[in-house]
Amino acid sequence: MKIGFIGLGVMGRPMAKNLIRAGHELTVADHHPEHIAELVELGAKPAACGKEAAEGAEVVITMLPNSPQVEAAVCDEDGILAGSHPGQILIDMSSIAPLASHSLAERCRQAGVTMLDAPVSGGEPKAIDGTLSIMAGGDAETFEEVKSLLLEMGSSAVHCGPCGAGNTVKLANQIIVAVNIAAVAEAFTLAVRTEVKPEVLFEAIRGGLAGSTVMEAKAPMMITGHRQPGFRIDLHIKDLNNALETGHAAGAPLPLTAQVMEMLELLSNQGFGAEDHSALARYYELLSGVALHS
Ligand code: NAD
């Protein structure tokens, strides 16, 4: 397939690499020339903007930070819609506000382009392995048309409902992850304060009901003090903001989300926004005066 790919960050780069390995012809765009160069070395064509990446492509994929960046990449003068043709499919794999997905899909529809929102879960390691979980919203027929393409980047692709549903599911995912990380950091702080070694706590409970994918991935980072993202605190703030806005509009109360949002905001204000979200442990270190790592 001829694919335009826009957004070659932590996630977009390995996803685009997997598509090249699967034999697709990629034209790639990003604000960072060095990200483009990495893909060009593997056989991709460089594009100066979304318009150029979209020209002649059957499918265009975006993997950008948030709603404003996707809106710009799609709607700007040199954006995707300026280079698209009727019948083209746009798959936005960024995690953005469901309402933004709705209005973008409408702009696309007016240009004869069908849009799916298809955010992912799994982080950089699963983007590299091509084992992301993909949750899609939009027209069911279009989803079936591109499902095999999605499965070249992920191990599962689930159609969740109409446009925006993929992002609603992603927000639910982000709430569960954020609250789970906070619970792990809180429980580990109790253990350390009462002189149980964090490694011992992890080993003792990981196989029980409290064990989780989140604990498996994040407890070792808390114990070693490894803060390299992974998933940045500032990106998680963006997701929880979108979750709170969506919850308020829908009448769904999200008190735990609001609480963890404030913890993350504090850390971002203290200059830790670029660290991995497991650095939520820092919040408890500030409260308790003890670090989880030695
Ligand atoms: P990132 O910040 O590493 O990458 C974003 C890339 O987009 C950057 O390279 C930037 O230069 C480029 N960009 C921004 N605006 C652009 C524009 N208008 N035109 C062209 N390029 C532009 O972000 P990421 O970690 O790759 O995340 C991308 C999306 O995936 C986000 O919505 C994030 O929430 C989601 N996500 C991230 C992870 C993770 O673990 N990092 C996991 C799941 C989902």
* Cβ < 6 A, ligand 1 pocket: 6-12, 29-32, 35, 63-65, 69, 72-73, 94-95, 120-121, 123-124, 230-231, 235
**What is the sign, positive or negative, of the torsion defined by CA atoms of 203, 208, 214, 216?**
positive
| Residue 45 bears catalytic tag | no
- Tell me the C-alpha distance between 233 and 243, whole Å: 15
Residues 127 and 229 in one domain: no
Atom of ligand 1 at shortest range from CA of 9? 4
Which positions of the chain have pLDDT values less than 70? none
Q: What angle do CA 9, 12, 14 make, to 5 degrees?
A: 105
- Residue 252, in any domain of the structure: yes
- In sequence order, the 6+-apart residues with CB closer than 8 A to the CB of 193 are 288, 290
Ligand 1: centre distance to CA 51 (Å): 19
Question: Given ligand 1 and candidates 5, 8, 11, which is best to mutate, with the most ligand atoms within 8 Å of its CB?
Answer: 11
Residues 63 and 121 in one domain: yes
Residues 128 and 201 in one domain: no
How does pLDDT run across 139-170, given as a tens digit for each residue? 999 999 999 999 999 999 999 999 999 999 99
Tell me whether the omega of the peptide bond preceding residue 289 falls within 30 degrees of 0, making it cis: no
Residues 22 and 149 in one domain: yes
Last residue of a domain, one of 162, 179, 199: 162
Atom of ligand 1 at shortest range from CA of 239? 34
- In sequence order, the 6+-apart residues with CB closer than 8 A to the CB of 269 are none
N residues, the chain: 294
Residues 111 and 193 in one domain: no
Ligand 1: centre distance to CA 265 (Å): 20
Residue 294's pLDDT is what?
Answer: 80
- Tell me the C-alpha distance between 203 and 278, whole Å: 18
Residues 223 and 251 in one domain: yes
Atom of ligand 1 at shortest range from CA of 94? 32
Range of the domain at 74: 2-162
The total number of structural domains in the chain stands at 2
Residues 148 and 173 in one domain: no
For residue 49, what is the domain's CATH number?
3.40.50.720
Residues 119 and 177 in one domain: no
Residue 49, judged by CB atoms within 10 A of its CB (0-12, 13-18, 19+), counts as middle
Residue 264's pLDDT is what?
Answer: 98
What does residue 137 show for φ and ψ, rounded to 5 degrees? -125, 150
Paired sense of beta strands 45-46 and 59-62, if any: unpaired
What does residue 115 show for φ and ψ, rounded to 5 degrees? -110, 140
- Residue 98, in any domain of the structure: yes
Residue 123's pLDDT is what?
Answer: 87
For residue 265, what is the domain's CATH number?
1.10.1040.10
Last residue of a domain, one of 138, 162, 186: 162
- In sequence order, the 6+-apart residues with CB closer than 8 A to the CB of 282 are 267, 270, 272, 275
- Residue 121, in any domain of the structure: yes
Residues 158 and 191 in one domain: no
Residues 104 and 10 in one domain: yes
Using alpha carbons only, how large is the chain's radius of gyration in Å? 20
Q: Which position among 17, 51, 126, 170 bears the catalytic label?
A: 170
Nearest alpha carbon, ligand 1 atom 38: 123
Residues 145 and 22 in one domain: yes
- Residue 204, in any domain of the structure: yes
Question: Given ligand 1 and candidates 17, 235, 237, which is best to mutate, with the most ligand atoms within 8 Å of its CB?
Answer: 235
Q: List, in sequence order, the alpha helices (H) in the chain.
A: 12-21, 33-40, 50-54, 67-75, 80-83, 98-110, 123-129, 140-150, 165-193, 198-205, 213-224, 233-250, 255-267, 281-288
* Amino acid letter for position 170: K
Residue 230's pLDDT is what?
Answer: 84
Last residue of a domain, one of 134, 162, 190: 162
- Residue 293, in any domain of the structure: no
Nearest alpha carbon, ligand 1 atom 20: 30
Ligand 1: centre distance to CA 78 (Å): 19
Residues 126 and 188 in one domain: no
Ligand 1: centre distance to CA 3 (Å): 18
